[in-house]
């Protein structure tokens, strides 16, 4: 439970960030718990995250602002491990370095700055720009479907532990308007809610049928998938008929040995 000081401080910060949100950032506290904040970072232009919708949480301690929050990003980004605590100078990994003058907006601006860099820390990962663009294009789908798990949703995830398997329930409860926009976007772009792939993009009749989701990075993934499928197709006959071929070779070998034996 938040202390009176934390309650007062976070209430004031919500008013401030609502009236003057930082670029690419929006955030609010959960209705049920002022210590649990949800944010969305929109990927900036000229970055591989452009257009991506990155949802995460800040879990503040009861004695905030005298201690920093736990920071997580739930949406796969190619920059951070989803739903993993991030080790930053503004997070709970470094309570002694936290400045009580820093606010929610300061923390989220710092997170965005770190995200668009290549510096590594606990909870960060390395990916190519193509992979990050691919994930950015699928981010709306991932947020609103829980990574395609909405058809078997078992209810919202618990605090600070949002996974793909919650079917998008937690995202919808915290961002109902954004969730509705995401579903509209999926319908307009013919995105399959189960897979995140576009259903209106055909493939040549001479090649494998590929479901290519929107986004420039997806074409690279489609090419890789096609190469793998063609490779497997070439190996398929040998793998499926290896016992038959082995038996045939043994038969031919025995026949030749018998003919040679009779000749001698």
Report yes or no: 124 and 80 within 8 Å, Cβ to Cβ: yes
Known catalytic residue: 87? yes
Report yes or no: 197 and 138 within 8 Å, Cβ to Cβ: no
Catalytic residue among 22, 50, 66, 87: 87
Sequence-distant (6+) residues with CB within 8 A of 166 are 146, 149, 153, 154, 155, 156, 157
Please tell me the distance from the alpha carbon of residue 213 to that of residue 89, in angstroms, as a whole number.
Answer: 36
Q: What is the residue whose two structure tokens read 């605090």? A: 159
Report yes or no: 217 and 139 within 8 Å, Cβ to Cβ: no
Distance from first CA to last CA of the chain, Å, rounded? 97
What are the φ and ψ backbone dihedral angles of 217, each rounded to 5 degrees? Answer: -70, -20
Structure tokens at 133: 């663009």
The DSSP letter of residue 108 is H
Please tell me the distance from the alpha carbon of residue 112 to that of residue 260, in angstroms, as a whole number.
Answer: 79
Please tell me the distance from the alpha carbon of residue 81 to that of residue 163, in angstroms, as a whole number.
Answer: 11
The DSSP letter of residue 44 is P
Q: What is the residue whose two structure tokens read 């090419």? A: 223
Sequence-distant (6+) residues with CB within 8 A of 205 are none
What residues are annotated to the active site?
87
């Amino acid at each position: 439970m938040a202390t009176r000081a934390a309650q007062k401080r976070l209430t004031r910060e919500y008013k401030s960030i609502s009236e003057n949100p930082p670029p690419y950032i929006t955030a609010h506290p959960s209705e049920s718990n002022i210590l649990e904040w949800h944010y969305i970072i929109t990927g900036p232009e000229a970055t591989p995250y452009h257009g991506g919708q990155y949802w995460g949480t800040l879990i503040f301690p009861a004695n905030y602002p005298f201690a920093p929050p736990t920071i997580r990003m739930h949406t796969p980004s190619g920059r951070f491990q989803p739903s993993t605590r991030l080790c930053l100078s503004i997070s709970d990994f470094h309570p002694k370095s936290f400045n009580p003058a820093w606010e929610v907006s300061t923390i989220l601006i710092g997170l965005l700055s770190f995200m668009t860099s290549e510096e590594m820390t606990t909870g960060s990962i390395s990916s190519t720009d193509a992979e990050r663009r691919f994930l950015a294009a699928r981010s709306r789908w991932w947020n609103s479907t829980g990574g395609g798990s909405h058809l078997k949703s078992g209810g919202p995830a618990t605090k600070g532990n949002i996974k793909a398997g919650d079917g998008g329930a937690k995202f919808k409860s915290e961002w109902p308007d954004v969730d509705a926009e995401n579903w509209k976007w999926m319908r307009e772009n013919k995105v399959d809610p189960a897979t995140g792939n576009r259903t209106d993009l055909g493939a040549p009749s001479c090649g494998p049928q590929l479901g290519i989701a929107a986004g420039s990075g997806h074409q690279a993934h489609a090419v890789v998938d096609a190469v793998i499928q063609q490779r497997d197709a070439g190996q398929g006959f040998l793998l499926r008929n290896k016992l038959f071929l082995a038996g045939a070779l043994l038969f031919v070998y025995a026949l030749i040995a018998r003919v040679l034996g009779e000749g001698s």
